[in-house]
Amino acid sequence: MMEKNTKFITSAFGIFICYFYFGVIQERITRGKYSSKEGEDEERFTYTLSLVFVQCIANYVFARLLVLNLIPQGEDTTKTWYYSSSALTYLLGMVSSNMALQWVNFPTQVIAKSCKPIPVMVLGVLLGKKRYLIRKYVFVILIVAGIALFMLKDGKSGPAAEGGIGVGEVLLLASLSMDGLTGAVQERMKAEHETRSGHMMLQMNKWSCLFVGIPVVLTGEVVKFSAFVGRHPAVAWHLGSLAVAGAFGQFFILVVVSDFGPLPCSIITTTRKFFTVLGSVLLFGNSLASRQWIGTIFVFTGLFLDAVYGKSSPKKK
């Protein structure tokens, strides 16, 4: 049990650290302004699909060379369609979430994605075989409500402020649904085949490369992306460090999924955003509104209760 707890804590810290750095580098790439020579017009990085494609290739190579050779994985009996469907829903969820930013602001997207554990839990029950205790639902909802309170800005902005559900909100709902389906499929993989993290990482990224590579090649984006990197070689270094951070981060995520299930993983990845924002607030001395302090209490209370009471009691023979 101690070894399992240590593995869980180590993986959680790995997710926090890797994706914190990943987010910094990703923002530097996508929001930076680039010019080859002084006086030339600046251009921005707009090759999102190519960025995802590079990341999928890096993850596949990482799994093939490092994970499968260094960590014993055993025989993989998982059905191929489990891997392909989970890769497809994962990519659709990510694309929908990124597209939603054209219609809603970033805080709205963060708040919506903080609800990720709920569809993972609900669809995991509907499509999987696992049943969660009632108290598990309460703890998860408490965490989600706390994060929403903390992240929510005073006043409304964006299409939702005018009333009704817009395109952005529909895309966010679609993204959450895809997240739930991904979790449900991964739950089946874990329950039926005890799929190991290395096999999951290798196969999911293989299918992701296929699903992303086809549109990238057909649209000609890969050529424009290569030309952009050629004009701005500094981007190559950022892409390399992004790939390394993303590969290690995904490895830690899949360790949690394969050993503990998709729901604990979704709780970790969701609270990572909360702790990142909270840490920046505390480090830079910014004040918190009363609503944000209430949200902080909700999150820590939910995490504490889930750690103590969230696991089902062992069945007596």
Question: 264 near 5, Cβ under 8 Å?
Answer: no
Below-50 pLDDT ranges, the chain = 156-164, 313-317
3-state secondary structure of 44: strand
> pTM above the 0.85 mark?
no
- Bridge-based pairing of strands 33-34 and 43-44 is antiparallel
In the prediction, which pLDDT does 111 show? 63
In the prediction, which pLDDT does 317 show? 41
Q: 127 Cβ partners below 8 Å, 6+ apart?
A: 181, 184, 185, 187, 188
d(CA 71, CA 11): 15
d(CA 136, CA 143): 11
- Shortest CA distance to 211 belongs to which of 91, 118, 79? 91
Question: What's the number of CA atoms in the CB half-sphere (13 Å) around residue 68?
Answer: 14
Q: 88 Cβ partners below 8 Å, 6+ apart?
A: 207, 211
In the prediction, which pLDDT does 142 show? 78
Q: Nearest 5 degrees, angle CA 113-CA 117-CA 122?
A: 120
d(CA 266, CA 269): 5
Q: Nearest 5 degrees, angle CA 252-CA 258-CA 260?
A: 90
pLDDT of 130-176, one tens digit each?
666 667 677 777 777 776 776 665 554 444 444 445 777 788 788 88
pLDDT of 92-108, one tens digit each?
888 787 777 667 665 56
- Shortest CA distance to 152 belongs to which of 296, 27, 301? 296
In the prediction, which pLDDT does 244 show? 92
Q: Residue 37's Cα: distance from chain center in Å?
A: 37
